[in-house]
Amino acid sequence: MNMLKNLLYVFRATHARLGAAVMGEMLHGIFLAAPTGILLLIIWELFNEQPDIKGIWLKVIILTVMFFIQMWLARKVMVKTYNVIITMTSKLRLMLGDHLYKLSLGFYKKRDPGDLASVVLQDVSNFETIFGDQFRNMVGAAFGTLFLSIFLFILDWKLATLMISAIPCSFLIIIMAAKVGRKISHRHIVSRNETGSRFIEYVQGVKYLKAFNLTGVRFSTLKAAFDNLRKSSIKLEAGLGPLALASFVVFEVFFLLMVYVSVSHFKNASEITITVPVFVAFLIVGYRLYAPLQLLMISYAVLNYMNASVERIRQLLEAPLQDVGKDIRPERYDISFENVSFSYVDREVLEEVSLTIPEKGLTALVGPSGSGKTTITNLIARFWDVQKGKITIGGVDIKDMAPQTVCGLISQVFQDVYLFDDTIYNNIKIGNPEATENEIMQVAEKAQVTEFLGAMENGINTKVGEGGSKLSGGQKQRISIARAMLKNAPIILLDEATSALDPENEIYIQLAIQELVKEKTVVVIAHKLQTIRNAEKIIVLKDGHVNETGSHSELLKNKKLYYQYWVTQQKIGGWRICDHAH
């Protein structure tokens, strides 16, 4: 029942239309079974004292024609069935991608990236491959068996009942196999996902492993994951194989039982209730009857593995979305936090925070690591929703606004820039897909991107590599700023982009940022206090609370936390590595 429920969920979600495919497979199943009946007619004709040779040849011709029709039908039905299933799984992947986009970032804190990738790629592939193959087998077997069963019941209902009794007995074994299989399948999928996650971790971290000479140590973790996958794969095959084989044995036993009962009738001439032609029919059709059922039993066992994948797909699609909100756009762009509290999975980051960020001004967030600076910018962008209190933009609660609307009001420049494996031109265009080439070149110039294009092989059409691997940090930052300029959103969130750059690149980035923030509401996470001396407002955070607020000069006069940071940074500014040679 659980499998059926999951399959119906996928069919409804993807609006799958399997009716034509089912009808085609039914017809194909009948055409597969029909030649057996014609063959029997030929055999029965041979039992006559004077067989009708012309009639036999006519039946042979019909068999030949049916063979070619069956081959043509098989091709048509197979193409139709796979077209429906592949269309369905394509929709399923797009649905998963769309759903993942709508989830809050809090969801990703709880899930391993490798596990999510496994659902979208491996689990959907399992559904496509297994269901695609087994669907044809199951429908064809079911209707082929039904067709042959009706034929046998017409000949002798007692022997037919005896043979059909094998089906419920075999299904009891398969149901037991299903219960065992669910546990084994779940463990196998967990092992598979763990292996995928460890492999991704190993590849992404290989630079650091080499730097600290830990390659062998971490490879042992990956090796252990592969070893666990190998063991769970063997258990999966060893656990399901014998039970599936047991159902085959049941069919063989019932077939032999039918032969025994039939032969017993022939021993006692006075009690003969079955004729030789009927007995021959049961020998031929009876054995043919069980062949598709054996295939059906295998299909059912295999589908249980697929069911574990479908269950994971369903769980992901049912993961709760953020509050949808409405497409409400505020008339002004000042930002306000009112008694905001927020916790990640395992720790509280903000507690009863209240602050205001003025419109068309520069507001800086300052504080030690873990004080909540990045969390504040993420909450403004509605990457997460607050657990208590509210955040407003222009007096409108952002929870009342659709996440897409909030994102449309905001441009972000992160300290760690991610670029897609595409051209510089297309990476900038992400800011506004409707932008013209002229507009893109204008922002590229303002963001100082054109300054390094001459050194690129194909200029602005140069591919940047995965994550921007072919570019320097400063070049990636300038592309990121150009992207934000092109978006032209009224609110700018900056995780100070110059903290890890060399002086030359820092000058270019500062010039680009000055162009970006003109007439905007700007929130910057400040690491170098020297860069935010002219900010209209500086908010100092500590342990998830607002410690103090004011301008640079006001905060220095207070001689509190900001003053301590300032003095410390001034001292660090004169720090240098000592020359041990002197």
Amino acid at the residue 381 = A
Render pLDDT for 150-198 as a digit per residue (tens, 0 to 9).
878 887 888 888 888 887 887 777 777 667 666 777 777 778 777 877 7
Indicate the fold that domain 335-572 takes in CATH: Rossmann fold (3.40.50)
- How is the chain split into domains, by residue range? 17-317, 335-572
The answer to which of 219-228, 275-284, 300-309, 376-385 has the lowest mean pLDDT is 300-309
CA dihedral 460, 461, 464, 467 (to 10 degrees): 90
**Residues whose CB falls within 8 Å of the CB of residue 64, separated by 6 or more in sequence, listed in order:** none
CB 496 within 8 A of CB 531: yes
Count of Cβ atoms closer than 10 Å to residue 333 Cβ: 18
| Interatomic CA distance for residues 164 and 476, integer angstroms | 70
Higher-scoring residue by pLDDT: 241, 387 = 387
Q: Going edge to edge, which strands form the sheet with 388-393?
A: 348-357, 335-343, 388-393, 396-397
| Interatomic CA distance for residues 180 and 172, integer angstroms | 13
Indicate the fold that domain 17-317 takes in CATH: ABC transporter transmembrane region fold (1.20.1560)
- Across 274-293, average pLDDT: 76
Convert 430-462 to b/e letters by CB count within 10 Å (16 or more is b).
bbbeebeeebbbbbbebbbbbbbbeebeeebeb
Residue with tokens 């159902």: 247
Render pLDDT for 511-558 as a digit per residue (tens, 0 to 9).
767 777 778 898 988 888 887 888 889 999 999 999 999 999 999 998
From 373, 367, 368, 377, select the one nearest 540 (Cα to Cα).
367
Average pLDDT, the chain: 80
Render pLDDT for 245-264 as a digit per residue (tens, 0 to 9).
777 788 888 888 888 887 77
pLDDT at 376: 92
pLDDT at 210: 67
Render pLDDT for 27-65 as a digit per residue (tens, 0 to 9).
777 777 677 777 777 777 777 777 888 888 888 888 888
**Over 90: is that where the pLDDT of 392 sits?**
yes
**Over 50: is that where the pLDDT of 379 sits?**
yes
Per-residue HEC secondary structure of 323-374 comes to CCCECCCCCCCCEEEEEEEEECCCCEEEEEEEEEECCCCEEEEECCCCCCHH
CB 477 within 8 A of CB 420: no
